[in-house]
Chains A and B, each alone.
Chain A
Amino acid sequence: MNARAEAFTRCGSAITTNALTKTFHGHTVLQPTHLEIASGEILVLLGPSGCGKTTLLRLIAGLEQPDGPNMIRFDGEDVSALPIEKRNVGMVFQSYALFPNMTVAENVGYGLKVKGIRRKQRESETKRLLALVGLEDYADRRITTVSGGQRQRTALARALAIKPRVLLLDEPLAALDAVLRERLRVEIGLLLREFGITAVYVTHDQAEAMAIGDRIAVMQRGRIEQIGAPKAIYHRPANDFVADFVGTMNRLEGRVSDGILAVDAEHTQARLRVGGGDRSAVVCFRPEVARLTAGPGAIRARVIATTFFGATQRLVAEVAPGRQLQLDLASSLHFAPGQIVAFDADPQAIIEFEKDA
C-alpha cells in the first residue's frame, strides 16, 4: 500500500444484505440472500448466465429495487431506498459505457463535474486518477480513439473519481480478446488491491474469479451455492455444481468397502483408495491429482486423446464407453490412443459427495 492509494484506504464501506430478494413478474431471480462483505474486501460473484449474479450486483448498485425494505446496508446504514444517484457507488460496465462525445479526461472527471466540483480541483483530481491507471498521456484523446484496455482503465478511473463507498464491476473484461483479458485480469486485481476499496465483481469466468477475488460466491438459479476463498472453493467444493463450475472435476460412482472404491468398469477392475466405512459413494478428483501407479489399487482406463499444455499434458481416458476422465500428467511421458493407463489419486485431494437421491 503506497501513499497515492491512501485516500482510498478508508473509503470502502462494508456491505450487508439481509434476506435480499428480487422478483420479476412473479419469477424469483434472487432467492433470499445473506451476505457480509467486509470493508476493503473483493468479492467475486461467479456463475453461469441467468444465475442471478448481475441482479445481485444491480441491487447493491441501486439500479434495481429489492422486494422489501431494509435489505441492503452500507456500514450498517440502510440504503435500500436510495436510488443509484444518491448511493455513491462506482460502476464499471461490460460495455464500459464511456461517453463517446468526451475525451478520456472528461470521462474521468464527469462525476466530479456533475457534483459541482470547481474546475481547478477537478482537473488536478482527474490528473491524479489518470496517473494512477497509467493514462496521463492519453488525457486529451477522444475516448473512441483509444484501445480496449485503455478504455477499461478509463472506466475504472471514472468510477473511482467520485470516491465511491463501494466499487461494482459487471463483467468488465468480457468484451476483450483472450490475450488482453488474461493480462488485464492480473492488472485489475493488483489495482483493486492497491485501492483497498470494497469491490463486488461479477464474472462467468472462473479463472478471472480465482485471480481477482478475496472470496468467491458461486451462484446458480438465484442462490449462492458456496462462498469462500478461491482455494477453498477449488479444493473443497460444497457440491457437484460448484465442483464442475470451478475447474474440471472427475467423477466416479461405486461402492466403498474396506476403504476401497470399486467402480464397475470395462478395462478390468477400477479401484481407488478413499478410506472410510462401507457405503455407496460419488468420488471426485481434479485432473492434476492423478498419479500413474503400478500398485494394485488402481484405476485402469483407455487413452482416447492427449492435449499438450507445455509442462503438462491432459489425457482424456475412459473407464467404460462414455465414462471419461481427464488426467494431467507430465508432458515428458508418452501415451498413444488405445493404450491402457493405470493411475490413482492422492487420497488427501479426493472429494466425496453424498449420492444424489
Chain B
Amino acid sequence: MRSRSFDVLLILPAAIFTLAFLILPLARLTVEAGTGPSGFAGFFAILTEARYRNSLLVTLALSIVTTLATLALATIAAQTLAHRKFPGRGLLLSLMTFPLAFPGVVVGFMIILFGGRLGLVNSLSMAAFGTRAIFAYSLFGLFLGYVYFSVPRVLLTLLAAAEKLDPSLVEAARSLGAGPLAIQRDVVLPALFPAMYTGGALCFATAMGAFGTAFTLATSIDVVPMLIYTEFTLATNAGMAASISIALGAITWAALALARSRAMRDTKGG
C-alpha cells in the first residue's frame, strides 16, 4: 500500500501539469465552442461550411506534401551521412540542422528573402529573363518554409536509425545479387520505417499547426492556424475558434497515434 501511494506521488507532478495545461483548457475550450451562434453544431462547421472545409483541405494537403518531401530529403541525406566519414561532414550536418535554431517567423522571413518581390530568385530572374518569379506568398512558398523548418528534426531522427543499420545487411543483400534499388526496397527502407513514421508524424503535426511561418507568408491563404487566429482576433468569434482548434487537435493527435502504432508494430517485428 505504501509503495502504491508513493507511485501516486511520483506521477503527481506530471498529472498536475497535464490537468492544468491540457485537460482544463480543453474543457474550457469545449464549453467555449458551444457558446457560438450555432451552439455545439459549431464543431462540425469545419466540415459543413465551405470556407472552413477548404481551409482544412488545403492545410491537410500542404501538410501531407510537406511530410512526404521532408521524408524524401531526410532519408537520402541520412543515408549519405551515416557510415560515411569525409572532411566537412560535421559542418554539413550542423548546417543542415541549423534551422532548428529558428522560430517559424524567421523561416518565413528567409523564404521572403529567397522568393519574395525583392528576393534572390526574383532578382536573378528579372536580370536574366526579365520575368517576375515570386512564390514566397503562395502555397509553394509555404511548402518550402515548412520543409526547411522540418528537415532538421526528421533528419536527426532518421540519421540515428540509419547509423544503427548493420552494414553487413547491405553487404549480404549485395552478395545475393541485389542492386541498389532492391537494397533500398528490401533492406534499408524497412529498417528505417519506424523512424520514418515517427519523424513523419512529427513533421505532419508541426505543419498542421505551424503558425509563425504561416503568419509571415500566408497573406492570401487560409491555413487552419491562420483561420483560428482570424476567427479569434478579428471576427471575435471565440466559439468558432475553439471548435476549429479542437478539430485541428483531434486530427493531429490521430495522425500521431496512428504513426506511433505503426512504428511500434514495425519495431516489434524487427
Contact = CB atoms under 8 A, between A and B. Distances in A.
B46 interface: no
A204 B6 CA distance: 53
Interface string A148-169: 0000000000110110000000
Contacts of A134: none
A91 B187 CA distance: 16
Contacts, number: 72
Interface in A86-104: 88-91, 93-95, 97-102
Nearest to B187: A99
B84 to A, nearest CB: 15
Interface stretch (A109-117, A119-127, A313-321): A109-117
Contacts of B166: 95, 97
A72 to B, nearest CB: 15
B167 to A, nearest CB: 9
Interface residues of A, number: 28
A304 to B, nearest CB: 44
B160 interface: no
B186 A97 contact: no
Contacts of B173: 99, 110, 114
Nearest to B172: A97
Interface in B181-218: 182, 186-187, 190-191
Given A100-B269, A110-B186, A144-B269, A93 B171 contact: yes
B130 interface: no
A32 to B, nearest CB: 25
B141 to A, nearest CB: 39
Contact of A93 (B172, B177, B178, B182): B172
Nearest to A110: B176
A142 B269 CA distance: 8
B269 A101 contact: yes
A155 B175 CA distance: 12
B269 A84 contact: no
Contacts of B176: 110-111, 114, 158-159, 161-162
Contacts of B187: 99
Given A93-B168, A95-B166, A95-B168, A115 B177 contact: yes
A89 B270 contact: no
B172 A91 contact: yes
A114 B177 contact: yes
Contact of A90 (B168, B175, B191): B175
B169 interface: yes
B270 A97 contact: no
B179 A114 contact: yes
A63 interface: yes
Interface of B: 166, 168-169, 171-179, 182, 186-187, 190-191, 266, 269-270
Given A91-B171, A98-B172, A162-B177, 15 more contacts: A84-B171, A93-B172, A97-B166, A97-B172, A99-B169, A99-B186, A99-B187, A100-B190, A110-B178, A110-B186, A111-B176, A114-B182, A115-B177, A159-B176, A162-B176
Interface of A: 61, 63, 83-85, 88-91, 93-95, 97-102, 110-111, 114-115, 142, 144, 158-159, 161-162
